[in-house]
Structure 1
Amino acid sequence: MAGSNIKCVICVAGDILFAIVAWVISIVIRRLAIPYHRGFFCDDESLMYPFKNSTIPATVMYSIGFILPCFCIIVTELVIILSSPKAKKRRSVIETLFKVVFKTLVAFFFGGGVTNLITNIAKYSVGRLRPHFFAICRPDWNLANCSTGAIARYVTEDVCTGTDKSLITEARVSFLSGHASMSMYFMVFLLIYIQRRFTWKGVLLLKPALQTLFFSLALYTGLSRISDYKHHWTDVLAGDLLGAVMAILIVLKVSGLYAESRCSSEVELKKCGIADLDKSKECGIQQIIPARDEVDEMTAM
């Protein structure tokens, strides 16, 4: 028993460590890395937009992105456990809730860290200029030699006269959009989780309504970056694709929410959540609804 507990603690600590490492590496890159110094054409109209404050600040995006999925996951799992006929002991309910929620949330946070890491690697490797770059940089056009006859000249020299160096550096990391990639990751993970675990059918349209709401939040966050002149539309599109792909991969391959199983008997069908033996032809596919016995067994321990 003691050896089993120690092994469990090691596994939990290891999972937490990997999630933390992903976020730490990403934050270090964001704080210390120097973006690739990309030049510009004198007549590049895509860089001439004014500077605007963000419609959705990063603090708001991350707060909602972390709090909303965590709240939904904890509440959903608690309801599932309490609805089990064998959920009588308070200790068993708490232990089961911790096991189920921990496995899901540690995968969620790890995926978020990896998504953020890939986003920052792209930002500082590509060094694409933001649409408001000229407003922040304030190039010295004489130093850039952008005369009337040389408007198509590609300028690679540092000709910025802006006083805020941090803003100038930030104006060089347009690709890809971090708001788009992270918000899409958060919400796609959540809507897939709801599809997998939300089994209450009292209101037919409740599940798709929630999923539509969450996806719309992520989509609006990305689109706001275009209207705020923080990103080009291709930056947002790339961010949305990265976030969605990462969420799908983490849910399917890491979180354990979807498990592939092959069923050949009535007992195995029951474990797969398939009550009808005639549906055995569907075996081998990823299951959507978990068997209630799984929760019962965990709460009975």
Structure 2
Amino acid sequence: MEDGSSCASGDGPASWQLRRVSWARVLLQQDWGSVLSTAVVLLALGVAEGVLGGPRSRPFMVTDATISYPNGDSTIPYWSVIVASLAALLLSVLLAELWLARGLHADLTDGLAAALHFALDGISAFLVTGLATQVSKMVVGRLRPDFLARCQPPVPDPLAVQYGLPAAANPPCTAPASPELTEGQYSFPSGHTSTAFAFSVWTVGYCIWAFNVRPPRRSAGGVRRLGVWRRLAHEAATAAGFLWVVALLLYAWFVGVSRITDFKHHPSDVAAGALLGTLLGAAFVLRAIGRLPGVLAGAEAGGAAGTPQPDTSLLRGNRVHNHGGDLPSV
């Protein structure tokens, strides 16, 4: 079985040097049809958000205990959810495409094309999830558990409890109009949770495919025939891959739990956010995996003269170098 560095088309290790990368070919080989379809969905959601203009008004009472919790800071800011989750996604893709699966690609150009293909899809999943969450928040207009603390409505004296009143009969807020007050009407579903689960489920689905399904696996007998140190390295890599996907899912779970303990969302908001993120994350990663074999279908025609050309499929299973059997499984 030939060494991984020599499996590149034509000129061996040189084809894995950054200076030999054809950036035009990297862009040409992208699945722009999928990117276009995602753009159409984003445009539709953006138009819906603009038409709605703001949250739906819902009736409430000052005696409603479910919206009377204190208003405080978030344990996990939204920006940190995006940064941490995106970093985990990009790290997973780069590790899998440019190192673990190096022998499956014709050259560094192919590896970068595959990495960009997956990165664009993961970011697309995040954008669609975010806009779908925001539109849902506006349509539902559910009040957060800390809404009364944001609104600070006057308590009538004597207090009279009435039921079935329209939103027009709501007591006025004494707090000045502000983005924080408006945010108090955006409880369903949880945006933190939907974002965390979209990223985590996408990354976990990709890792399971990249670590377990794509590369050729060693047989049980082949693993037993490994030397002691190679066997230990193989088992350690397998354990590391499993711990990585578990950590990603636990992080998303912790984000959702923090939204409840911070009194920013009701439990059903978090459950809905987790479901939305899971469905969209799974849909996007399955699309990306399914479209991968055809990403480079037009590469031979699009390459520059004299540039080594890749095979028509990115999954070159017949030319995998020896470390392929040591890829971590999850």
TM range (shorter): 0.7 to 0.9
Q: Distance in 1 between matches of 2:30 and 2:247?
A: 35
What is the aligned partner in structure 2 of residue 76 from structure 1? 96
Q: Distance in 2 between matches of 1:131 and 1:31?
A: 27
Cα deviation digits, residues 63-114 of structure 1 (max 9, x gap): 1121210111111111134345xx7xxxx53211122112212221222222
What is the aligned partner in structure 2 of residue 192 from structure 1? 205
| Distance change (3 Å), C-alpha of 1:136 and 1:98 | same
What is the aligned partner in structure 1 of residue 61 from structure 2? 41
User: Alignment partner for residue 150 of structure 1, among 151, 158, 161?
Assistant: 161
* 8 Å Cα contact 2:62-2:148 kept in structure 1: no
Q: Quick one: higher RCO (CA 8 Å, sep 6+), 1 or 2?
A: 2
Deviation of the 1:41 alpha carbon? 2.6
Greater shift after overlay, 147-156 or 176-185? 147-156
Task: Give the 3-state SS of the residue equivalent to 1:39 in structure 2.
Answer: coil
Task: Give the 3-state SS of the residue equivalent to 1:205 in structure 2.
Answer: helix
Deviation of the 1:141 alpha carbon? 2.8
Q: Which amino acid aligns with 1:293?
A: N
Q: Distance in 1 between matches of 2:265 and 2:162?
A: 24
Cα deviation digits, residues 10-62 of structure 1 (max 9, x gap): 96555555555655766783898211011113321000000010100011011
Q: Distance in 2 between matches of 1:39 and 1:94?
A: 59
Matches within 5 A, 1:1-301: 9=28, 15-16=34-35, 18-19=37-38, 29=49, 33-83=53-103, 93-142=107-156, 147-150=158-161, 152=163, 154=165, 156-157=167-168, 159-199=172-212, 201-203=234-236, 204-256=238-290, 292-293=317-318
Q: Which amino acid aligns with 1:97?
A: G
Q: Which amino acid aligns with 1:171?
A: G
| Distance change (3 Å), C-alpha of 1:132 and 1:155 | farther
Q: How many correspondences in the alignment?
A: 252
Deviation of the 1:164 alpha carbon? 4.3
Task: Give the 3-state SS of the residue equivalent to 2:160 in structure 1.
Answer: helix
Q: Distance in 1 between matches of 2:256 and 2:80?
A: 13
Q: Which amino acid aligns with 1:250?
A: F
Task: Give the 3-state SS of the residue equivalent to 1:256 in structure 2.
Answer: helix
Task: Give the 3-state SS of the residue equivalent to 1:206 in structure 2.
Answer: helix
* 8 Å Cα contact 1:42-1:152 kept in structure 2: no
* 8 Å Cα contact 2:150-2:180 kept in structure 1: yes
Q: Distance in 2 between matches of 1:168 and 1:78?
A: 47
Gaps of 5+ in 1: 260-289, 297-301
| Distance change (3 Å), C-alpha of 1:70 and 1:31 | farther
| Distance change (3 Å), C-alpha of 1:166 and 1:255 | same
Q: Which amino acid aligns with 2:61?
A: F
Cα deviation digits, residues 111-136 of structure 1 (max 9, x gap): 22221121111100000000000000
What is the aligned partner in structure 2 of residue 262 from structure 1? none
| Distance change (3 Å), C-alpha of 1:16 and 1:249 | closer
Q: Distance in 2 between matches of 1:31 and 1:222?
A: 29
* 8 Å Cα contact 1:132-1:229 kept in structure 2: yes
